[in-house]
Structure 1
């Protein structure tokens, strides 16, 4: 039997760059507003400081990608030090993905629904509906989601460029209006920490290296530096331009106003009557920090262009939400395959999607949105996960890659980890809800590991076939292959009728038969994955056992091929070309036309790319 599970390295830098931009570049759509929310007209100074941190972390991840060319991100690098540390790092990344999906979905509705006049009170519920729809789409694993993300990222870059260009003439207004951070050093530091979530997305590039074109070091550098440069330049320019908007007050920040309002609302009724009622934030003030680029675009470009840009930004945020959900599914699947989570988390549906892992990937972000109901509260939960994941990844890389790095590189990695460590401690101390949220995720992850480890330890490496499946005949009973005779390739995922037809056709033609079983694994994860084997796939075992029995009875040479991880059409075309088959037999899909359009039609793809030497026969 031939077992095939290789993943192609076909991700080039101009593909990886837009994918990174879809994560790292998306954060400006809410980080800009959050910086103004916390620091007021001192926001550009905080954005500049965050930009310096992005530059440092971006450099660190060029080293991480070079030393981990097989990918995997924080889970793989931490697992190389100790398995428990790998699980801890993965739970931090899991927490980051949960809040990314929540805040991206909420902000998408703010950018799309705000200009349409939808009430803010409806945003959490509309976000929950959007997350459910994205989850439903991911149940079937749509094939064109990546292409959609690339086009939306390009559109977002163009829209942001237009806004920046229109804002350049008014930068002088922003420079005159902005001021240096004021207040106690602790307040300035906590305001800076509040916008450190701008780092979100940088971890994604480390997970892509397993599918990057080699040499990975060069590909990752070319993907990282243009995105980092664009993010830094545009963020600073937009922050300065934002301060130049008319009617911005230089008094207390929006965070101070909201804190005063909540403090007054928490008082007993008698105490409330004894104090003046602080004003609540107006709709315009909410718009300033929830959809800052929309407000800036309306002032500089007018409502029509701003509305178009807002829709593009909203679609980009929905794409980022989808990417986060895919990341949640991928992390759970890989950990389950490694025995760190229950085996059910890697159970695949007919589309190759781990459907059990899809449930928490949708439910947890919805819970976050409905419980917090505001961007600033979701932001409080955000950074503790991503900062912790970056710390572990960078520090573990410095440890495991000590022999492959120069002294200045190790010093830079440890400096990055130390700076982020201070930020992480600040978040844990000043934001107790973030610490509680992270504890919930970490305890849950380690608890599931404790439950699954005994089963993983007792799990046999090659499980025996269930007793209901007849044992296959011995290889000596099969007629040997004759390379001089025609070759037939039949692909099936469990349809015995098409196998019977192929064997009968081979008997009439005196031909050899290749039986290909493709188990699609629709998981977005660029790191090493313990691949499936036929011993773990009861559908494949049943089909192969029946096929071998029929091949012996018909005296037909039969070669079994099991392919896991790739697309069915790609596997069929690959083996058809490799073995120069004369006839390819496929069965008609029983899926609805809409599902074929979303997931991809195997027959159409094979027919379009099959070598001219091979004939395609469709068995109805």
Structure 2
């Protein structure tokens, strides 16, 4: 969970503790939500002639899933669009990241809207815009405190959602029929436009590429030569099959409802065709109600409809929160790479980037208020996600430095061409979406240009020999390797009495003292290692503490080694460092966190005490 920035342990790697089952659950929390609104939008586009469109979307979704299995194979340290495209150029990486921000913006807005729609409460639907805005603002308040393990809720909901989908398929299966299907009414060009307009099932697949950097390694690989092909494949395939097959079967089930039947809704009687239009925002719940009633009676149908509604409400709200958290992490990462203004890296006292969280909440709110319509909101969706995936797939296909097999490169190239045509069509047929994505790109690239101008970054072409001479790895290899007796580690959370006690103990025992400062950053975006190396000298709080300890250690002839780490989980990082450095004593001060912060993020001292190995003695001072 940590990236060690300086100090003796500079060779540490981020722990790979994500197994394929949890990775699959996280992926499903993003990718699996698409069927909740794709089916209804397909019906709005083509009515009872929408089955070919739904099947075509499923085929393309499966193809993109295969592509991302390939990408994960070649990018074991994170293969998201920002990481993969960076090998082809920094500007392309920023463009891909901005397209992903456009996608995440609409994901948060659309998922929140759709989630509330699944309650199917008339008064809520009448004020759905402001209800969604209120929910997003509440998410912003919660995320301001940087709640720990933000994706855990999606993991918890994955299994209940799969069970509900399987039950829904089982109930509808006996009623599947082709009797009500209609032939397409449009010419091929219009069918293509309808097809690209409902390509929303691709959203979320990017999540798996961002997780490879923390996935458990394959049995035949090492930390220095990582491979996650098997682990990532086991995570992708179950989710891909569920998304593709589930969307196809549930789409067919929707079109197996008699269009001439009469249905009672809250505002009166409607034909089935009209009802499907009116309930397009919560189609899966409507399908569950109708087929549940046909199979087991009206009482069961209503009860099952509520179960479907509640499960998908929580899953969609979780997906909205995941999108917000991912946007915060992406903006922070770009700022760390000097692609966005340095102000984006400023953190609040809970380790959350101040400006990125305001942007991550503000953008979806602006989009919702500006569109105020579910169909218009969905129209903004595809251009961002398709653009980001196109950049990722294309970057991998044209990256000649990757040791890629020919058939993999051809597969990525074919997919790139298809998605590029889809993106061009979206730009041509959806002017609102084009305007939206151009605004995101324009503002983002303007901020990047301002950042580069302020930082004075220029491009200098030198020979390979000169580049190797100034390589940061060369300087790292010349760092001194000290040998000492006992080792004491003290975790610094300000200039507190525990530091003085640690100096006394180190002097008494003639031990080396490791002073650890963990900068708590509640940013969750696993798109590979952050480039560049932050220095504790550039962190005002860390500089004050570590400089003082170095000075006091020099005066008392105590070898003091500063260790600076950045992490979203300080307890896990301190434990990892203590075990890696082989310390004999770990000293920490008592926690002074507020009750609300403890509730959302946990108590560091308690977490360390519960997990510290028996070989390391813990001293809690204060």
Q: Which residue does the alignment assign to 1:598?
A: 600
Q: Which residue does the alignment assign to 2:230?
A: 218
Report the Cα offset of residue 121 of structure 1: 2.6
Q: Which residue does the alignment assign to 2:167?
A: 162
Report the Cα offset of residue 452 of structure 1: 0.2
Report the Cα offset of residue 320 of structure 1: 0.8
Q: Tell me, in whole angstroms, the C-alpha distance in 1 between the residues paired with 2:318 and 2:201.
A: 17
Q: Tell me, in whole angstroms, the C-alpha distance in 2 between the residues paired with 1:403 and 1:386.
A: 24
Q: Deviations over 1:555-580 (max 9, x none)?
A: 44423222223521112212333344
Q: Tell me, in whole angstroms, the C-alpha distance in 2 between the residues paired with 1:493 and 1:2.
A: 20
What aligned pairs does 1:98-109 form with structure 2 within 5 A after superposition? 98-109=105-116
Q: Deviations over 1:531-554 (max 9, x none)?
A: 532132121111011112333444
Q: Which residue does the alignment assign to 1:528?
A: 529
Report the Cα offset of residue 283 of structure 1: 9.3
Report the Cα offset of residue 156 of structure 1: 1.1
Alignment counterpart, residue 32 of structure 1, candidates 33, 39, 47: 39
Kindly indicate whether the alpha-carbon contact (under 8 Å) linking 1:352 and 1:522 is maintained by their aligned counterparts in 2. Answer: yes
Kindly indicate whether the alpha-carbon contact (under 8 Å) linking 1:144 and 1:598 is maintained by their aligned counterparts in 2. Answer: no
Kindly indicate whether the alpha-carbon contact (under 8 Å) linking 1:384 and 1:435 is maintained by their aligned counterparts in 2. Answer: yes
Q: Tell me, in whole angstroms, the C-alpha distance in 1 between the residues paired with 2:91 and 2:557.
A: 53
What aligned pairs does 1:527-606 form with structure 2 within 5 A after superposition? 527-530=528-531, 531-565=533-567, 567-606=569-608
Q: Which residue does the alignment assign to 2:151?
A: 146
Kindly indicate whether the alpha-carbon contact (under 8 Å) linking 1:481 and 1:558 is maintained by their aligned counterparts in 2. Answer: no
Q: Which residue does the alignment assign to 2:477?
A: none
Alignment counterpart, residue 614 of structure 2, candidates 608, 612, 615: 612
Tell me if 1:130 matches 2:135.
Answer: yes
Q: Deviations over 1:463-491 (max 9, x none)?
A: xxxxxxxxxxxxxxxxx988444x43210
Q: Secondary structure at the match of 1:581?
A: coil
Alignment counterpart, residue 187 of structure 1, candidates 185, 190, 203: 190
Report the Cα offset of residue 404 of structure 1: 2.4
Q: Which residue does the alignment assign to 1:426?
A: 425
The alignment's C-alpha RMSD in Å is 2.4
Q: Tell me, in whole angstroms, the C-alpha distance in 1 between the residues paired with 2:259 and 2:327.
A: 42
Q: Tell me, in whole angstroms, the C-alpha distance in 2 between the residues paired with 1:329 and 1:183.
A: 42
Q: Which runs of 5+ in 2 are unaligned?
A: 1-6, 218-226, 263-269, 293-300, 459-480
Q: 1:577 to 1:419 in 2, by over 3 A?
A: closer
Q: Tell me, in whole angstroms, the C-alpha distance in 2 between the residues paired with 1:553 and 1:133.
A: 51
Q: Which residue does the alignment assign to 1:515?
A: 515
What aligned pairs does 1:322-337 form with structure 2 within 5 A after superposition? 322-337=321-336
Q: Which residue does the alignment assign to 1:500?
A: 500
Q: Which residue does the alignment assign to 1:367?
A: 366
Report the Cα offset of residue 3 of structure 1: 5.2
Q: 1:285 to 1:229 in 2, by over 3 A?
A: closer
Q: Which residue does the alignment assign to 2:202?
A: 199
Q: Which residue does the alignment assign to 2:434?
A: 435
Q: 1:149 to 1:481 in 2, by over 3 A?
A: same
Report the Cα offset of residue 141 of structure 1: 1.8
Report the Cα offset of residue 284 of structure 1: 4.3
Q: Deviations over 1:359-397 (max 9, x none)?
A: 111000011111112221111100001111111111111
Q: Which residue does the alignment assign to 2:304?
A: 305
Q: Which runs of 5+ in 1 are unaligned?
A: 251-278, 460-479
Tell me if 1:2 matches 2:3.
Answer: no
Q: Which residue does the alignment assign to 1:269?
A: none
Q: Deviations over 1:198-251 (max 9, x none)?
A: 11111222222222223222222222121111111111111111122345689x
Q: Tell me, in whole angstroms, the C-alpha distance in 2 between the residues paired with 1:566 and 1:95.
A: 25
Q: Tell me, in whole angstroms, the C-alpha distance in 2 between the residues paired with 1:49 and 1:406.
A: 27
Q: Which residue does the alignment assign to 1:291?
A: 282
Q: 1:543 to 1:217 in 2, by over 3 A?
A: same
Instruction: Give the stretch that moved more between structures: 184-193 or 354-363.
Output: 184-193
Instruction: Give the stretch that moved more between structures: 32-41 or 205-214.
Output: 205-214
Kindly indicate whether the alpha-carbon contact (under 8 Å) linking 1:493 and 1:540 is maintained by their aligned counterparts in 2. Answer: no
Report the Cα offset of residue 415 of structure 1: 1.4
Q: Tell me, in whole angstroms, the C-alpha distance in 2 between the residues paired with 1:436 and 1:366.
A: 17
Q: Deviations over 1:321-350 (max 9, x none)?
A: 111112211221121111111111122223
Q: Tell me, in whole angstroms, the C-alpha distance in 2 between the residues paired with 1:221 and 1:41.
A: 35
Q: Deviations over 1:89-135 (max 9, x none)?
A: 111111111100110011111113x2x44342311111111111112
Q: 1:311 to 1:609 in 2, by over 3 A?
A: same
TM-score, structure 2 as length reference: 0.86
Tell me if 1:232 matches 2:244.
Answer: yes
Alignment counterpart, residue 83 of structure 2, candidates 73, 76, 79: 76
Kindly indicate whether the alpha-carbon contact (under 8 Å) linking 2:16 and 2:214 is maintained by their aligned counterparts in 1. Answer: yes
Q: Deviations over 1:583-616 (max 9, x none)?
A: 3222222222221121121111111111223332
Q: 1:561 to 1:375 in 2, by over 3 A?
A: same
Q: Tell me, in whole angstroms, the C-alpha distance in 2 between the residues paired with 1:425 and 1:178.
A: 30
Instruction: Give the stretch that moved more between structures: 297-306 or 15-24.
Output: 297-306
Kindly indicate whether the alpha-carbon contact (under 8 Å) linking 1:402 and 1:410 is maintained by their aligned counterparts in 2. Answer: no
Q: Which residue does the alignment assign to 2:450?
A: 451
Q: Which residue does the alignment assign to 2:254?
A: 242
TM-score, structure 1 as length reference: 0.86
Q: Tell me, in whole angstroms, the C-alpha distance in 2 between the residues paired with 1:336 and 1:433.
A: 29
Q: Secondary structure at the match of 2:563?
A: strand
Q: Tell me, in whole angstroms, the C-alpha distance in 1 between the residues paired with 2:485 and 2:353.
A: 42
Alignment counterpart, residue 43 of structure 1, candidates 21, 38, 50: 50
Q: Which residue does the alignment assign to 1:470?
A: none
Q: Deviations over 1:253-277 (max 9, x none)?
A: xxxxxxxxxxxxxxxxxxxxxxxxx
Q: Tell me, in whole angstroms, the C-alpha distance in 2 between the residues paired with 1:544 and 1:289.
A: 59
Aligned length: 566
Q: 1:435 to 1:481 in 2, by over 3 A?
A: closer
